[in-house]
Amino acid sequence: MVENEHINYGRIAAAIDYMKLHFKEQPSLNEVAGVVGLSPFHFQRLFTQWAGVSPKKFIQYLGLEYAKKLLQEEQSTLLNTAYETGLSGTSRLHDLFINIEGMTPGEYKNGGENLVINYCFAESPFGKIIVASTSKGICHMFFEENEQQALFDLKSRFPNAEYHQVVDKIQQSALFIFQKDWKQLDQIKLHLTGTDFQLKVWETLLKIPLGGLSTYGAVAKDIDRPKASRAVGTAIGSNPVAFLIPCHRVIQSSGHLGGYMWGETRKSAIIGWEASKVTD
């Protein structure tokens, strides 16, 4: 069994190396499977188990990361970026960004230039928090005692957006969650940008009930990626909306709390607070 796992890992590593070298050519599933000596069906299943995404989606991620680097160069146009990434035109580049990044390539290049973001600072049972929203919903929610640092972290995500320190109804609905039943969460709008894999993980976290706990392995199984626990952990660690997307409810299978972007002490406090709500 261990030997087979070692062989499979070697095949996946070889496939990844090949895709990194040839992603601009948009290699087909048959082509990459042939490189590692597997049938397309077997390779598709094996790669998805190990990497957490399909080979096609992985190639798209490689192209997206390359396109991001190009768009950060002032002289790079959307058309040149599309061609350099191996895409047939700007429309495919647009689709790639919308499907994976949640924004257009122009918005990415401009750092959210056309985005209007309202933000406010508030007190929660677990310390000071910053909440930010667009017209579509909550886009950022972080625990941070230092307001200057909190605003810096927000602006680093959308450096060219237009910011207003104002409390709007979307933020109010989000902050009420500290006082209301968790079942009210479906009334809160979220405006998230992330990969399909990240969004799937975050959606799964929303299904963990108040006072309940899950493990990284269980979340991986819930999204049909049983071998992608590490990738799940990375996605959970990238959660841009604290508390509303309850990444604090995921612990290690050993029973240890595991990491938490806003500190293990706060994670423990939140878990205990929610448990008391259920008891009450």
Domain boundaries of the chain, sorted by first residue: 2-109, 116-187, 196-279
Give pLDDT tens digits for 247-273.
999 988 877 888 888 888 888 888 888
- By mean pLDDT, which of 26-35, 137-146, 187-196 is the weakest? 187-196
Instruction: Assess whether the region 2-109 and the region 196-279 belong to the same CATH fold.
Output: yes
Tell me the range of 83-87, 148-152, 235-239 where mean pLDDT is highest: 148-152
Q: What is the pLDDT of residue 119?
A: 94
Residue 125 contacts residue 273 (beta carbons within 8 Å): yes
Distance CA 80, CA 22 (A): 18
In this predicted structure, the answer to whether residue 128 has a pLDDT above a threshold of 60 is yes
CATH of the domain spanning 116-187:
3.30.160.70
At the second CATH level, the architecture of 196-279 is: Orthogonal Bundle (1.10)
Of 121 and 157, more confident: 121
Q: What is the pLDDT of residue 63?
A: 62
User: Once rounded to an integer, what is the mean pLDDT over residues 71-91?
Assistant: 44
Of 161 and 68, more confident: 161
In this predicted structure, the answer to whether residue 200 has a pLDDT above a threshold of 70 is yes
| Three-state SS sequence of 9-76 | HHHHHHHHHHHHHHHHHCCCHHHHHHHCCCCHHHHHHHHHHHHCCCHHHHHHHHHHHHHHHHHCCCCC
In this predicted structure, the answer to whether residue 97 has a pLDDT above a threshold of 50 is no
Residue 116 forms beta bridges with which residues? 162
- List the one residue out of 181, 175, 161 whose CA is nearest residue 243: 175
- By mean pLDDT, which of 31-35, 87-91, 107-111, 166-170 is the weakest? 87-91
In this predicted structure, the answer to whether residue 131 has a pLDDT above a threshold of 90 is yes
pLDDT averaged over every residue in the chain: 75
Of 88 and 59, more confident: 59
Buried b (16+ CB within 10 A) or exposed e, 201-227: bbebbeebeebebbbbbbbbbbbebeb
Catalytic residues: 247
CATH of the domain spanning 2-109:
1.10.10.60
Neighbours of 265 (CB within 10 A): 11
> How would residue 77 be classed by pLDDT, with cut points 50, 70 and 90?
very low
> How would residue 234 be classed by pLDDT, with cut points 50, 70 and 90?
confident
